Amino acid sequence: MTFSRRHMILTSAATFLAGCGAGGGTAPVVARPDPALEAGLRPQPNASYDAWVAAFKTRAQARGISASTLNRAFRGQGFLPGVIERDRNQTEFKRSLEDYLNIVAPEEKVVFGRRSFAAQSRALAQVEARYGVPADILGSIWGMESYFGTKRGKIPVISATSTLAWEGRRGRFFESNLMDALRIVQTGDARPDQLLGSWAGAMGHTQLIPNAYQEHAVDFDGDGKRDIWSNNPIDAFATTARFLSKAGWRRGQIWGLEVTTPSGFDGPTGRKAKKSVAQWQALGVRAANGGRIPDHSSAALLAPMGLGRPSFLVFHNFNMILRYNPSENYGIGVGYLAGRLIGGGPLRAGFGPDKYGLVLSERKALQNGLTQRGFDAGKADGVFGKKTEAAIRGFQRANGLAETGEPSRQLLGMLG
């Protein structure tokens, strides 16, 4: 219930953390800061935090956490200023669907994901058989949350949640997650050094916060541990499937599909305007691939970037994905990537020009032009972030242009 919204808000940024594969090998017994982490993500002295931890330990013992668990769990942990920095820098900035899909499901990720998905097909089929949530949806969530298990996060969860609990902006929420993280240690589901995750404490293959773990985690393979941390993702798949099943996922139904609308279409769009499939068809809505639209009862029409651009008819199960993460872009991203994992092609409709009048190939050309002239625009993915903005500003400054940091056709003309 609280899982969905909080989970999303806390983990949306985590997806973009540059975590690298959590390796196998021998894990240290004591949580040791990863030397690859930036300084702000390694414990720093902070007397106020230490005093908070001492008081917290008393509260935790009153709640049944043993002194030995507390000692084990807090050894090597500490105040992480980098976590607070990330918490404060969460942008509410909403990406366009085009940018969003280029970030969460670019072609190279589809290629990588198909291999990962194939390697887990047996596990996913078993989980699907039990919970009724399709393998492709589970595989897609896995891809969205941890890049198919390769970016599970490297920040010690005890340190991260205790730092945010001490800081206090959402103190009760993070204290509750810290308490649940300690319960994970106490029950032996994981050792403290295994509890690594995002800056906000989201862990494992499908990025669960400790509260969500305690409420939903499943020991699917029956090895006695609800293990979402190891290289084997099966418990994480089952946990996510169980969550979606309990939320109300309808077995045998799809999330939605890409559709087209006729010119002059005057029907409503948006998740609240529901109609039967027959009503949508009467308004001229058609499957973009020319096939049949399945009838899963009422449906809504989503056109996030306007009619004539990628549009989707979404059914009940789309809303179940939003229980996992309430962003419509996330829901479309999950559905889209799921289709790609099982061999589907890119979206049929084009996105057309963006608000600067540029299409994707032009945005990429602009980024390449900037980088070639010594203004590093980052990866030429057509998605404009801080790095591209800084490169544009640099180029504008060097050429005596007004420093806007925004792309334009004029700029493309100078760089192309």
- Interface ranges with Ca ion (CB under 5 A): 219, 221, 223, 225, 227, 235
**Residue 167 to residue 173: CA distance in whole angstroms:** 12
User: Nearer to Ca ion by C-beta: 223 or 295?
Assistant: 223
Sort 79 into a burial class: Cβ within 10 Å, 0-12 / 13-18 / 19+.
Answer: buried
Tell me the C-alpha distance between 95 and 16, whole Å: 13
HSE, CB side, 13 Å, CA atoms: give it for residue 159: 32
Q: DSSP secondary structure string, 292-336?
A: PPP--S-EEEE-TT-TTSSEEEE-HHHHHHHHH---HHHHHHHHH
Q: Which is nearer to Ca ion, 34 or 221 (CB)?
A: 221
Cβ 227 to Ca ion shortest distance, Å: 5
Min. distance of Cβ 268 from Ca ion in angstroms? 46
State the nearest-atom distance from the C-beta of 246 to Ca ion, in Å.
19
- List beta partners, residue 260: 286
Residue closer to Ca ion (CB basis): 107 or 223: 223
Q: Which is nearer to Ca ion, 41 or 228 (CB)?
A: 228
Q: Closest Cα partner for 36 from 16, 22, 15?
A: 22
Tokens of 346: 């890119």
- Between helices 328-341 and 316-324, what is the axis angle to 10°? 110
Q: What Rg value do the Cα atoms of the chain yield, rounded?
A: 23
Residue nearest to Ca ion (CB): 219
- Minimum CB–partner distance for residue 218 and Ca ion (Å): 8
Q: Is 152 helix (H, G, I), strand (E, B) or coil?
A: coil
Pick 235 or 328: Cβ nearer Ca ion: 235
Residues in a beta bridge with 270: 301
Inter-residue contact 221 to 126 (CB < 8 Å): no
Written as six digits, the tokens of 227 are 């293990």
Listed in sequence order, the DSSP H helices in 248-398 are 277-282, 316-324, 328-341, 360-372, 386-398
Among 151, 140, 197, 173, smallest CA distance to 321 is for 140
Cα of first residue to Cα of last residue in the chain, in angstroms, is 50
Q: How far is the CB of 238 from Ca ion (least distance, A)?
A: 9
User: Is the CB of 219 or the CB of 389 nearer to Ca ion?
Assistant: 219
Of 183 and 296, the one with the shorter C-beta distance to Ca ion is: 183
- Between 123 and 358, name the residue whose CB sits nearer to Ca ion: 123
